[in-house]
């Protein structure tokens, strides 16, 4: 990994330009727009045609049968099933705690609010070769806890036209209502606008490739979306107390996803920097995806040496990483200094891999600097807040004249008169 010494030298490297950049050319945007338009016009026919064109699969049906889901669950390795069930329970418990603390109605006063869950949502989980059951669990389980009424899953089929049995088993554990074997931008279009088989949803969740991301961007407004996601990234801040073997393993785990992922170390110790660099070089040789990892490290892996932990956190706040790990003495004492991060891991034993596979919080997190204004997927993403107004004659008397004055300043005479009619009535009643 490349080593940069000094806070000032590193500052420009950690300063992002423009937030999330969906870096595409006009040709890709044109392709996605054509896919969306065709799905809107032709419905299921377009989905069958695109499956054959893009995936090389001639589907006999778009929806996965209940029998196929039950069979997949029965035939899934028992140890894997129990592991996914344990993860689902941890995720459920975490989001139940979130719901208890965050999702509360307030209607006792004259002004308040009520929370209502989404009615029907669509979740897209990528991967035909790799099933990604963890992504499914950390998205669907919170939705269920929030009280979403209907949850649909769309996901790419394998080359034999079937959905991975592991993914189907995870969907059953999480509580998915209907599953569709549709991939890519066409899946997003179907969920947004509906077809003969796939009903339109209110909001779409989940990551995907550039075509999926562009499609989500284009259908936003017709439906809600959870966010736009880029390559995975981590910043680990250490001091001289860090275990080099552990930190190297965590850095390598992050870039195992794909070669566009980023792993960054910030440390106050040159000795630790060299030791971790050596461990990275040693450990990568033993990993099955070493080629992908080495490519990612070459492009997006670096070590920065700073004077203090505070300088490291300042650099991290500039970058706003998806994952931030504080592996320093008295790590909790630095938490209040962290302003921008998708998820914060405190201490050597708070490793990101645990959250990826079921510690409790969702691993669907803001990337590419969007942690400056966005949050990881949470219980509030699945509910709506409706304002409740029960103002009375006293409020009209207190506010009416001011409201009418502001309304007239905006040139909205009807608004002003609507209030003044109430004021006239209040005067007649002797208020």
Q: Which sequence positions are flagged as catalytic?
A: 322-323
Q: Are 351 and 216 in contact (CB under 8 A)?
A: no
Distance CA 22, CA 26 (A): 12
Q: Tokens in use for 300?
A: 């997006």
For residue 429, count CB atoms less than 10 angstroms from its CB and return exposed for 0-12, middle for 13-18, buried for 19 or more. exposed
- In whole angstroms, what is the distance from residue 266 CA to residue 175 CA? 41
Which sign does the torsion angle of CA 277, 278, 283, 284 carry?
A: positive
Contact between 374 and 366 under an 8 Å Cβ cutoff? The reply is yes
- Determine whether 257 is exposed, middle or buried from the number of CB atoms within 10 Å of its CB (0-12, 13-18, 19+): middle
- Strands in 163-307 per DSSP E: 178-180, 203-205, 224-225, 233-238, 262-267, 301-305
Chain-centroid distance, C-alpha 125: 12
Helix (H) or strand (E) holding 88: helix 78-102
CA dihedral over 21, 249, 141, 172, signed as positive or negative: positive
Cα–chain center distance at 109: 35
Residues whose CB is less than 8 angstroms from the CB of residue 421 and which lie 6 or more positions away in sequence, other chains included = none
Non-local CB neighbours of 262 within 8 Å, separated by 6+ positions: 231, 232, 233, 234, 254, 255, 296, 300, 301
């Amino acid at each position: 990994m490349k080593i940069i010494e000094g806070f000032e030298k590193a500052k420009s490297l950690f300063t992002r330009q423009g937030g999330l950049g969906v870096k595409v050319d006009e040709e890709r945007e044109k392709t996605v727009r054509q896919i969306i338009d065709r799905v809107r016009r032709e419905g299921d026919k377009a989905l069958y045609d695109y499956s054959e064109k893009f995936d090389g699969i001639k589907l006999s049906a778009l929806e996965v049968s209940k029998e196929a889901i039950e069979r997949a669950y029965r035939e899934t390795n028992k140890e894997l099933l129990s592991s996914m069930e344990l993860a689902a329970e941890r995720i459920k418990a975490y989001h139940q705690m979130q719901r208890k603390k965050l999702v509360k109605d307030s209607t006792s006063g004259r002004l308040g609010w009520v929370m209502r869950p989404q009615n029907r949502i669509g979740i897209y989980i990528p991967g035909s070769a790799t099933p990604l059951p963890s992504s499914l669990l950390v998205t669907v389980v919170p939705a269920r806890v929030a009280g979403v009424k209907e949850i649909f899953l769309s996901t790419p089929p394998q080359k034999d036209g079937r959905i991975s049995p592991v993914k189907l088993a995870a969907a059953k554990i999480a509580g998915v209502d209907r599953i569709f074997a549709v991939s890519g931008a066409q899946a997003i279009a179907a969920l947004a606008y509906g077809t003969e088989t796939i009903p339109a949803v209110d909001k779409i969740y989940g990551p995907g490739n550039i075509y999926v991301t562009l499609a989500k961007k284009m259908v936003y407004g017709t439906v809600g979306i959870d966010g736009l996601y880029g390559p995975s990234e981590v910043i680990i801040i250490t001091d001289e107390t860090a275990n080099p073997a552990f930190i190297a393993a965590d850095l390598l785990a992050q870039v195992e996803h794909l070669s566009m992922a980023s792993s960054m170390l910030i440390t106050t110790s040159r000795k630790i920097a060299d030791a971790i660099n050596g461990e990275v070089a040693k450990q990568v040789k033993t990993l099955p995806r070493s080629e992908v990892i080495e490519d990612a490290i070459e492009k997006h892996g670096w070590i920065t040496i700073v004077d203090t932990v505070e300088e490291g956190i300042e650099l991290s706040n500039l970058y706003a990483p998806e994952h931030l790990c504080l592996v320093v003495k008295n790590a909790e004492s630095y938490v209040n200094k962290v302003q921008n991060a998708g998820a914060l891991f405190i201490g050597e034993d708070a490793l990101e891999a645990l959250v990826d596979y079921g510690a409790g919080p969702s691993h669907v997190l803001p990337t590419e600097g969007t942690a400056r204004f966005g949050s990881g997927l949470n219980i509030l993403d699945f509910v709506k807040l409706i304002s409740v107004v029960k103002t009375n004659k006293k409020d009209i008397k207190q506010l009416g004249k001011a409201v009418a004055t502001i309304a007239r300043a905006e040139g909205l005479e009807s608004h002003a008169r609507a209030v003044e009619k109430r004021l006239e009535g209040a005067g007649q009643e002797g208020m």
